[in-house]
Structure 1
Amino acid sequence: MTEVYDNRVAGEDRVGNWMQTHSGRRFFPIDPRADEVFIEDIAAALGKLCRFNGHCRGFYSVAEHSVLVSMVVPREDALAGLLHDATEAYVADVIRPLKPYLAGYAEIEHRVWLAVAEKFGLAPELPESVKIADNAVLLREADEIMAQPPELWNVKGTPANVPIECWSPAMATTMFRARYTELTGEMVP
């Protein structure tokens, strides 16, 4: 029998257990709140998360992907583009073919997105331009950093004209933070 992990604080009215973030704070992925979302935690985590479950030719981070998406969309959607995968800082980067089969995952990810959106003043639904750019960057990544596929990917769109550089985790975190500052004028602690 698997032992249930329980680190809840007695008397605290929260659902589920908390995880510790990069900055040392608590975050409840099942009970997310906007005041517990921090850009420095998002940048650090996404900088270290490898896309495609690590099945690319070299390390390629979710942070680099996010920066590229933010550059492909119209300026008014750039912050949403940068943060479109911010949930993955708290609930992991689950590959697309697996997501529909993980019971409850979509709901958890959506609740985390709502906390992220509230924190950064974004709409609860991603702009269509972000969805299109996400696919366009994905298609460029498929061409540039993935092995020859056994068949065509079932992704609509045209590859984005962006450079895939495969930044190190430290560089990816730095570039994500810099892009956030460029878009908002706020320095990342």
Structure 2
Amino acid sequence: MSSYITTFTKKRFNPITPEEQLIDIKDIAHALSLMTRANGHFKHFYSVGQHCINCYKEAREKGYSTEVQLGCLLHDASEAYISDITRPVKRHLPEYLIIEGQVQRVIYEKYNLDKLTIEDFKIIEEIDDTILHYEFKELMGVKIFELEPPIALKHDFSLKGFQEIEDEYLKIFYKLCN
């Protein structure tokens, strides 16, 4: 059994011992554009990549720093290397959470986000939860939170093609990183 995954760009990436030089934004954008949110239970395909783009747009609209905007775009990037597990299950898997944290830390270091503050992470988490709420409202007719969180934009939760999402994700990333 191998100790690595083969990424879209043909890198051999070991998620247990992630190496910064093997992190590639092309792998992240590609994989997230193909991964479904809500474990596939929405009324149509809606990708993690599209979710991250919406989180970025919300942060931008609210006037947060470029670093927080990039943090929003990349907040689920570890899933490109280790996939995702639904929230109710994930909290019962401490080893998964450790691995996820290590991969995410290396990604943030790679893209110079290792200086994000506790407050920045709270903002990113708040935006993530806000978009989650409106995704479930729009794509399932279900309210996640009793009180609707304030939102700055009307986001696009429509069905989009994988390539369109991958391209938009990369375009935003390169714009934020100049």
Q: Could you say whether these structures have the same fold, taking a TM-score greater than 0.5 normalized by the shorter chain as the test?
A: yes
Q: Give the deviation of 1:165 after TM superposition.
A: 2.3
Contact 1:135 1:157 in 2 (8 A): no
* Aligned twin of 1:41: 27
The number of equivalent residue pairs is 168
Structure (1 or 2) with the greater helix fraction:
2
Unaligned runs of 5+ in 1: 1-5, 8-16
CA distance in 1 between counterparts of 2:78 and 2:148 reads 24
* Aligned twin of 1:14: none
Cα distance change of structure 1 residues 38 and 44 upon mapping to structure 2, 3 Å threshold: same
* Aligned twin of 1:182: 175
- Pair 1:75 & 2:65 matched: yes
Q: Give the deviation of 1:42 after TM superposition.
A: 0.2
Identity among equivalent pairs (%): 29
* Segments ≥4 residues shifted beyond 3 Å: 154-157
User: Which of 155, 162, 168 is 2:161 aligned to?
Assistant: 168
Contact 1:135 1:156 in 2 (8 A): no
Q: Encode CA deviations 1:61-110: one digit per residue, 9 max, x unaligned.
A: 00010011111111331111100000000111211111012241000000
Contact 1:87 1:109 in 2 (8 A): yes
Which AA in structure 1 matches 2:123? S
CA distance in 1 between counterparts of 2:147 and 2:34 reads 28
CA distance in 1 between counterparts of 2:175 and 2:84 reads 25
How big is the alpha-carbon RMSD for the aligned residues of Structure 1 and Structure 2? 1.8
* Aligned twin of 2:129: 135
Using structure 1 for the length normalisation, give the TM-score: 0.82
